[in-house]
């Protein structure tokens, strides 16, 4: 089964997009990745690497009158969100695809996502829930579902949902809560009530992210990564990890997830540290090819005091909640030491 994926990014996310592609190459036997390149540097580099199954399209070759009108009224981030549904529609129509799955550029695949496409069966749309940990549940604002892995089949049911979402995002897509809407994402909560053929993914390995990983333990079995759900000890194979919130700064400093989420050492070991090393290596390759920009977007100076008093107090109280043995600041010291990761 040939899998069709699409994503969008600019030069500041180029390394993430390249690592995403490499992860798909590692686990998928047959796929295409269609990329909407948001600037000329990004497009030029993608063209230069000459990957047959990585198809890049320039932003100006994609935009239409309705999108350009929306673009004038929105921030750069809001316009990216506006384009997500339109990009899926564009690639399905232009390349006559029988299906297309939008995936966020800041993800990495650890096993074949075909299992997720097959899970949807005869349904025409697949959506993935955030699966929030209770302490981070943001469903009322960000929505129950995440625009990270959304699949549409080129069927009457599938295109009906996609066209409604596309038109809705062009009409309204802002970084604020308004009338039950938020960005492009809160619309997903309405799919099942408005349309037939919409399937909610049930695979626990689909969409591991900072807001839900507290529910799992991770380990290696025969050199393969395995997740274990803490509530029932059910084991599962991670399909993809969503590295939302990861930011690069000057002087090789990386902020993993903003310091807000509780992230334990095995997650750093199995997910974050290898991923950051891959991004760093991609950045070197891009520069070695004669492109003079940072493909990780690390142009800003890191915050001088990223761990303020409030955050340190939160870490300390979290440690006490786990065990009174953390009264001696051991948990707090661990969290501080893991807040930034320096690589070479």
> Is pLDDT above 80 for 310?
no
What pLDDT is recorded for position 307? 59
Average pLDDT over residues 86-113: 98
Cα dihedral sign, 268-272-275-281: negative
Q: Chain centroid to CA 66: how far?
A: 26
The model's pLDDT over 246-279, given as tens digits with 9 standing for 90+, comes to: 999 887 888 888 667 888 889 989 999 999 999 9
- Can you tell me the distance from the alpha carbon of 315 to that of 309, in angstroms, rounded to the nearest whole number? 10
Beta pairing, strands 99-103 & 3-9: parallel
> Is pLDDT above 60 for 341?
no
What pLDDT is recorded for position 305? 47
What pLDDT is recorded for position 263? 86
Least confident of 120-124, 210-214, 296-300: 296-300
What would the two tokens of residue 82 be?
């506006």
Asked if 199 and 168 count as a contact pair (C-beta separation under 8 A), the reply is no
> Is pLDDT above 80 for 209?
yes
> Is pLDDT above 90 for 83?
yes
What pLDDT is recorded for position 257? 82
- Can you tell me the distance from the alpha carbon of 21 to that of 10, in angstroms, rounded to the nearest whole number? 15
Asked if 130 and 142 count as a contact pair (C-beta separation under 8 A), the reply is yes
What domains does the chain contain, in order, with CATH numbers?
Answer: 3-203 (3.90.550.10), 245-342 (no CATH)
> Is pLDDT above 70 for 337?
no
- Can you tell me the distance from the alpha carbon of 3 to that of 100, in angstroms, rounded to the nearest whole number? 8
Average pLDDT over residues 293-319: 74
Average pLDDT over residues 145-163: 98
Q: Supply the pTM of this predicted model.
A: 0.90
Task: Write the CA distances from 197 to 109, 159, 184, integer angstroms.
Answer: 26, 11, 20
What angle is formed at CA 218 by the lines to CA 213 and CA 219, rounded to 5 degrees? 170
What pLDDT is recorded for position 340? 53
- Tell me which of 258 and 217 has the higher pLDDT: 217
> Is pLDDT above 70 for 78?
yes
Average pLDDT over residues 198-227: 96
> Is pLDDT above 70 for 70?
yes
Least confident of 174-178, 206-210, 250-254, 329-333: 329-333
State the maximum Cα–Cα separation within the chain, in Å, rounded to a whole number.
62
End-to-end CA distance of the chain: 40
- Tell me which of 44 and 335 has the higher pLDDT: 44
């Amino acid at each position: 089964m040939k899998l069709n994926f699409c994503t969008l990014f600019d030069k500041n996310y180029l390394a993430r997009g390249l690592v995403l592609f490499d992860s798909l190459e590692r686990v998928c036997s047959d796929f295409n990745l269609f990329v909407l390149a948001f600037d000329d540097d990004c497009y030029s580099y993608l063209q230069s690497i000459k990957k047959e199954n990585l198809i890049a399209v320039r932003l100006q070759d994609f935009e239409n009158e309705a999108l350009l009108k929306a673009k004038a009224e929105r921030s750069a981030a809001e316009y990216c969100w506006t384009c997500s549904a339109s990009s899926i529609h564009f690639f399905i129509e232009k390349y006559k695809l029988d299906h297309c799955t939008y995936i966020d550029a800041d993800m990495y695949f650890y096993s074949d996502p075909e299992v997720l496409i097959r899970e949807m069966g005869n349904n025409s749309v697949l959506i993935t829930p955030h699966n929030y940990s209770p302490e981070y549940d943001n469903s009322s604002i960000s929505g129950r579902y995440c625009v990270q892995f959304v699949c549409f089949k080129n069927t009457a049911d599938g295109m009906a949902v996609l066209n409604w979402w596309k038109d809705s995002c062009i009409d309204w897509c802002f970084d604020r809560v308004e009338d039950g809407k938020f960005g492009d994402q809160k619309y997903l909560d309405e799919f099942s009530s408005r349309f037939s053929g919409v399937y909610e993914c049930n695979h626990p390995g689909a969409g591991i992210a900072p807001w839900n990983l507290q529910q799992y333990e991770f380990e290696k079995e025969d050199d393969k990564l395995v997740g274990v759900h803490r509530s029932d000890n059910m084991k599962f194979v991670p399909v993809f990890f969503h590295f939302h919130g990861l930011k690069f700064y000057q002087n090789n400093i990386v902020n993993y997830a903003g310091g807000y989420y509780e992230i334990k050492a095995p997650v750093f070991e199995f997910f974050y540290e290898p991923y950051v090393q891959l991004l760093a290596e991609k950045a070197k390759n891009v520069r070695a090819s004669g492109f003079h920009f940072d493909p990780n977007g690390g142009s800003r100076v890191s915050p001088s005091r990223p761990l303020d008093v409030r955050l340190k107090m939160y870490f300390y109280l979290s440690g006490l909640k786990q065990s009174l043995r953390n009264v001696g600041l051991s948990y707090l010291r661990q969290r501080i030491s893991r807040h930034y990761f320096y690589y070479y």
